[in-house]
Structure 1
Amino acid sequence: MPNKLGFWLIWILFSVYAFIFAPPDRPDTLQLILKLSTGDWQGTNALIVALFNLMGIFPFIYACMLASDGRGQKVPAWLFASLSFLAGAFILLPYFALREPNPTFIGKKNRLISLLESRWTGIGVTAIASYFLFYGFANGNWADFFQQWQTSRFIHVMSLDFCMLSLLFPWLLSDDMERRGMSSDRFFTFIALVPLVGALIYLCLRSPLIESEQEATA
């Protein structure tokens, strides 16, 4: 119960800060979003390009985790996973507040779960994320990024959303490892403490789900 209340409180504070106290939006925000979405990156800081695209990778990482975590939950994990591509942590925080501990996978894997938990899926996601990490760090302008972070609500909130998604991941990690019979405390600590990269490594290395003969109810 304290954890649930904590997630609701974080969600409220995060939302209030993002929509009330974050810097105001700049006049060119919609134009910037359009350019980023269509791949027209010329003249745009590479760090912003990388961050925008990684914010599409992170929800996919969560989809790979929620596919099995949602089995047996009272709330539809697939709905939160889908909407997180649009709203990031703003939609995932309520899921964390509503979900129950789920260290056992009930029933057999369906096609979607098999696809999202595949090691090859993890490798593919890691390859794409690695490209944008390299692109951003190799070509980005940190002074310009910090200036835009201070003056643009879009950049400011997107950066905080990235940090929030990084901080939330360990709350799913423990149950996911237990569903797979993985019990290494050192491995958990390493994955939990390395933002994004730790999650990518986990998707590539995690053991298969341990299925049961019990019928799934969700």
Structure 2
Amino acid sequence: MKYVLGLLWVAFIAYALFMAPGNSPGNDPIFKELLTFQSEEPWLLTVFSWLGIFPAVYACILLRKSIRVREDRRVPAWPFVLFSFGLGAFALLPYYALSSPFQKGVSSDHWPSAERPKSGISRVASHKLTHLILLILTLGSACYAMIQGNPERLAEAFNQSSFVHIMTIDFGVLTLLSTMAISRDARVNGRTTYWAWAGLLPIAGPLLYLLTERK
């Protein structure tokens, strides 16, 4: 799987640099409107805002626990999570390609760290209120887009703007990658891996997975 993710990462970069259709960001009025939140199309604003919410969801999954180091100790999660707020799947794909999850039932003798207090970031990432706020923002923006927006304008921008084109594909990759994120987390924490299917519900699925976790 790591090689598949690595190839997907390379292919995604190559596509974004050389094959994405539409105007480049420097000559793209849609890109400038989104950066200044002046776009009048709710669907564009919503997908753009979701690319800010999605990395926060991954942060909640990867950074919420400091009791056990659940991934390969040689690949800390936080740098990839940090860069994902600007690069999305471009930052997270290499993390999942390089890290090796611990399997359910691994002896505690093999855990690379002992129990220790949670850091401030871990406490925020693990708090149910954080997950609930992210879910409310997701559902609220979705309702705004569906009521006020025109999906045909998003489809037009997908072909006219390279930024919107890559942004939309990035959102799709993050959605598919969240199934792996949930599956790995569920195995480590003794939950059913059927929860991975929740990742197909963009953003809301992983948040429901987190909200239903028993502490």
Structure 1 residues 5, 190: closer, same or farther in 2, change over 3 A? closer
8 Å CA contact retained: 1:80, 1:92: yes
- Aligned position for 1:63: 59
Structure 1 position 195 matched with structure 2 position 191: no
- Aligned position for 1:214: none
* SS of residue paired to 2:100: coil
In the TM superposition, what are the counterparts of 1:1-218 in structure 2 within 5 Å?
3-25=1-23, 31-41=29-39, 44-68=40-64, 71=69, 73-103=73-103, 106=113, 107-108=115-116, 109-183=118-192, 185=194, 188-208=195-215
Aligned residues: 202
Q: Determine what percentage of the aligned residue pairs are the same residue.
A: 30
Cα shift readout 1:160-182 (whole Å, capped 9, x = no counterpart): 00000000011121231233332
Distance 2:196 2:180 in 1: 12
Distance 1:157 1:69 in 2: 32
Given residue 7 of structure 2, which amino acid in structure 1 is its aligned partner? L
Structure 1 residues 34, 24: closer, same or farther in 2, change over 3 A? closer
Query: 5+ unaligned residues in a row in structure 1: which ranges?
Result: 209-218
8 Å CA contact retained: 1:119, 1:205: no
Distance 2:25 2:134 in 1: 33
8 Å CA contact retained: 1:54, 1:129: yes
8 Å CA contact retained: 2:63, 2:125: yes
The structural deviation recorded for 1:200 is: 2.1
TM-score normalised to structure 1 length? 0.83
8 Å CA contact retained: 1:58, 1:196: yes
Given residue 49 of structure 2, which amino acid in structure 1 is its aligned partner? N
8 Å CA contact retained: 2:6, 2:97: yes
Given residue 191 of structure 1, which amino acid in structure 2 is its aligned partner? A
The structural deviation recorded for 1:159 is: 0.2
* Root mean square deviation, CA, Å: 2.3
Query: 5+ unaligned residues in a row in structure 2: which ranges?
Result: 105-110
8 Å CA contact retained: 2:6, 2:94: yes
